[in-house]
Structure 1
Amino acid sequence: MSVGAEVAAGVGSGAGAAVAADEAFARDWQGWQDRRLAAAGAPHGPASLTLTFWFADDTPQSVPGLPGQWAAEGERLVATGFAPGEVRFADGADATAPLVLDATTGDVHAGERILRRFERDGVPALRIFDPAAEGRTSLRGIAAFDPDPAWRLEARFEPDPRARTIELADGYQKETETSGSIVFTRDGVERRLTGTLRPDGISVVFGDTTNGDESYGFRFLTVGLPDADGATVIDFNRAFLPPCAFSDQFVCPLPTPENRLPVAIRAGERLTVRE
């Protein structure tokens, strides 16, 4: 083989490897997207949430669409006045009144609906997940930007644990502990995102200039845990819609001011697609 042929073969081989890598990247991303849609549209997934009902005091009251009366006792919920068979536990056993829902009870069922206790700063709420919810039955997909390896960036984590006041989607403000900053460079500009260390990664809530037009008002992202030197990778292709994109009954955290990036992040999930 001539030198020229060897060079050509080498170039072709390198180009082929790059194409194969891009195809594998796209397949992996598509698998993630398929799992995301399946989870969002599951019978009791985020798109099925029809109500988050807050209890301001211990006065028994009716919850729309549910049997009996419901009241708060501290952080617990107590249900009374329902007939046998109207409420049951996850194993199928009938619940009897008074039914107490606390941090150990788990979900209960009313017909096909799941009832789940939710608590925020000591104030309990009852959430209803209904497979027949319009938000679920009308969900057809999740629109996303095309996967692009260029949005998978080397990054470093700089610890800086501190308490911050985070605003939630319903206007409520909550004190939350954040862990530090993820630092990355894109187009020659260094940028930072505040995140919180979780067992499975660094949780980030961020906004960018695509929000409100090309994408939802903000998005979530989980960044891989850093190594001993703080190195990690931030892959914006895995930016995903918060639960409140599927139901306005969620109270998602909004991005902190420093997490509103002044650039367009055209990667990851964009919007829900509905019938």
Structure 2
Amino acid sequence: MTIASDTTAPAFAAEWQTWHDAHEADRASAHGFLAITAQHWLTAEPTRFGGLPGRWSTGEEGVVVLLDEGETLLVDGAEVTGRIVFGPIPERGGRTAAFGDTVIEIAKRGGHDLLRPRHPGHPTRAGYRGTPAYAPAESWVIEGRFVPYDAPVEVTVGSVAEGLQHVYAAPGEVEFRHEGDVHRLIAFNGYAPGSLLVLFTDATSGVTTYPANRSLSVGAPDAEGRVILDFTRAVNLPCAYTEFATCPLPPAGNRLPFPVEAGERLPHERTAR
């Protein structure tokens, strides 16, 4: 999808392309978020959702499904029937159940339990053409410094889902210099131990990149607090592709005043609209 710029070392461009290809393959996997067909919010009232087995609810026991006679689900590799208690789902956690070619994601987002069925034949996945990206330029790999808070700070951010909010524990901020100016971004805990996650917008947002957010994974700081911000690996969140998403918005201060012409751009599906 991209061609290395003249100022980028071939080895850097090749490493980036390998990473980008793997990221695209994961995104387009059979039951990835491109395969989500619907988003159902659960209540205390047992409810049947079109095309899904059982009547689903949430309450003191957590998420529960009551399957009618002849209905089955595959849970943790075993076929189950009757009443299945999935228990309380942790925030941003989830479980899965399957039937046929469909996988049902059972998740909690913004304090609310939901179901998201995923089918590999869903048009969003079947028609996916890949995501355009800026050419990988080494000038966008910037050394920064992690500035920890005295104690983690709870940060509440909005969501692309109307009325939903997310709360994250922020361990500190990432500070870096760009064209002589110092900038700071609030960082959340990343997926790997010690790593960080930064949600941001910039002057390209809504122009050549998705307007709501982009995400940047940052490796764990070294002993002196140094970190590397590789903006060539800034990626879109699921909400750039599907309406069935609850992606968080960046903290209010995480808008960079300059264009970050690096990383993933608007998906083809968005530009077509």
TM over 0.5: yes
CA RMSD, 1 decimal: 2.1
Give 1:55 shift: 1.4
Alignment of 1:28 onto 2:35: no
Alignment of 1:74 with 2:60, yes or no, is yes
2:80 counterpart SS class: coil
- Report the Cα distance in structure 1 between the residues aligned to 2:247 and 2:23, rounded to whole angstroms: 18
Which residues of structure 2 form unaligned runs of 5+?
1-5
Query: Taking structure 1 as the reference length, what is the TM-score of the superposition?
Result: 0.86
- Equivalent in 42, 51, 56 of residue 55 of structure 1: 42
Residue 253 to residue 35, structure 1, CA distance change in 2 (3 Å): same
| Equivalent in the alignment of 2:26 | 39
Q: Which residue of 1 aligns with 2:3?
A: none
Query: 1:239: which partner in 2?
Result: 234
Q: Does 1:95 align with 2:80?
A: yes
Q: Helix, strand or coil: the match of 2:85?
A: strand
Q: What code does the residue aligned with 1:129 have? A: R
Larger Rg: 1
- How many residues of Structure 1 are paired with residues of Structure 2 in the alignment? 255
1:64 Cα deviation from its structure 2 partner? 2.1
1:3 match: none
Q: How many angstroms does 1:174 deviate by? A: 3.0
TM-score normalised per structure 2: 0.87
* Cα distance in structure 2, aligned partners of 1:143 and 1:83: 48
When residues 258 and 139 of structure 1 are mapped into structure 2, their CA distance, relative to the original with a 3 A threshold, is same
SS of 1:185's partner is: strand
Match of 1:170 among 161, 172, 191: 161
Distance 1:269 1:21, change over 3 A: closer
- Write the distance in 1 (CA, Å) between the matches of 2:110 and 2:128: 32
What residue is the counterpart of 2:200 in the other structure?
206
Q: Aligned in 2, Cα 1:239/1:80: closer, same or farther, shift over 3 Å?
A: same
What amino acid sits opposite 1:233 in the alignment?
I
Query: Which digits, 9 at most, give the CA deviation of each residue in 1:110-150, with x for residues without a partner?
Result: 21110121113543211211111111111110110000000
Rounded to whole Å, the distance in 2 between the matches of 1:119 and 1:196 is 18
Provide the residue aligned with 2:175 in structure 1.
Answer: 183
Is the alpha carbon distance of 1:239 and 1:200 closer, same or farther for their aligned partners in structure 2, counting shifts above 3 Å? farther
Residue 256 of structure 1 is matched in structure 2 by: 251
Is residue 132–residue 267 contact of structure 2 (8 Å, CA) maintained in 1?
yes
The structure where helix makes up a greater share of residues is 1
What do residues 211-237 of structure 1 show as CA deviations (whole Å, max 9, x unaligned)? Answer: 112011220001111111111111100
* Separation in structure 1 between the aligned mates of residue 81 and residue 52 of structure 2, nearest angstrom: 15
Deviations 1:176-225 (A, max 9, x none): 21111111111111111110133162100000111112011220001111
In the alignment, structure 1 segments of 5+ residues that lack a partner are 1-18
